[in-house]
Every structure is written in structure tokens, then in C-alpha cells.
Amino acid sequence: QVQLVESGGGLVQPGGSLTLSCRVSGSIFRGLRMTWFRQAPGKEREFAATITWSGGYTYYADSVDGRFTITRDTAENTVYLQMNRLKPEDTATYYCAAVRSVPVKRAAQEYEYWGQGTQVTVSS
């Protein structure tokens, strides 16, 4: 089992920055893939960014590539999502998710473990 707890959401102005954190506990081992999804009101949950726990290989959705950076700190058992140049369309609940997979997985239904979500609102 893997437990995930997100934090760091809030209200930010367009063009601003925010960093989300996901604290990971439980059965952390090689082969774990950590991913940030987001879900806006009335929309489906969508893939944003992913990283392998071992190796730190990353992959981004086109909508966030170049603005968001996903990293992990294996000593602190935490995954981060640094979000820069935020836009109103980035407003959503952001979820941290985990799955035991080496290949990139972008579909929410493929993930085994989920956090409770943290709200990000981009507005002036």
C-alpha cells in the first residue's frame, strides 16, 4: 500500500507561481511512478506530469510543458510540482497519484493510489 497526502494549493494571480507537495508513505520501491493529475469543475481528470521514483525520468502534458516542473526528493519521500506562469485555465483540483509502472501511464483509471487533492485557483 502507498499513502499520498498533497499540500500547497491556494489562490494565485495569473502569471504567478505555486509549488505543490505530495508526501509519500508506505511501500515505496523501485518501479513506482508518481503523477500529478488535475480536474477542473465539470471536466474529466487529466494528466499533467509524471516522474519515476527511481531515476527521476519525467514527462509532461503539452498544456503544462515548459511551465510546470515535477521533481522528487527520495530522502524526504516527497514529490513536488513547481508551477510557473500560471493561467486561469490551470484552475483545478490537483491530485497526486501512484502506480507500479515503468512505462508512462496517462490515464487516471490506470492508477492504484490517490491523494485527497489540493485546490489551485488562478484568478486576479
**Contacts made by residues 37-40, CB under 8 angstroms, sequence distance 24+:** 37/94, 37/95, 37/97, 37/108, 37/111, 38/90, 38/92, 38/93, 38/94, 38/95, 38/120, 39/92, 39/93, 39/95, 39/117, 40/89, 40/91, 40/92, 40/93
CA 41 remoteness from chain centre = 17
Of 98, 114, 90, the C-alpha closest to 9 is 90
Over the stretch 72-108, which tens digit does the pLDDT of each residue have?
Answer: 999 999 999 999 999 999 999 999 999 998 899 999 9
d(CA 113, CA 84): 26
Q: What's the pLDDT score for residue 111?
A: 95
Q: What's the pLDDT score for residue 81?
A: 98
| Segments of the chain with pLDDT less than 50 | none
d(CA 116, CA 93): 9
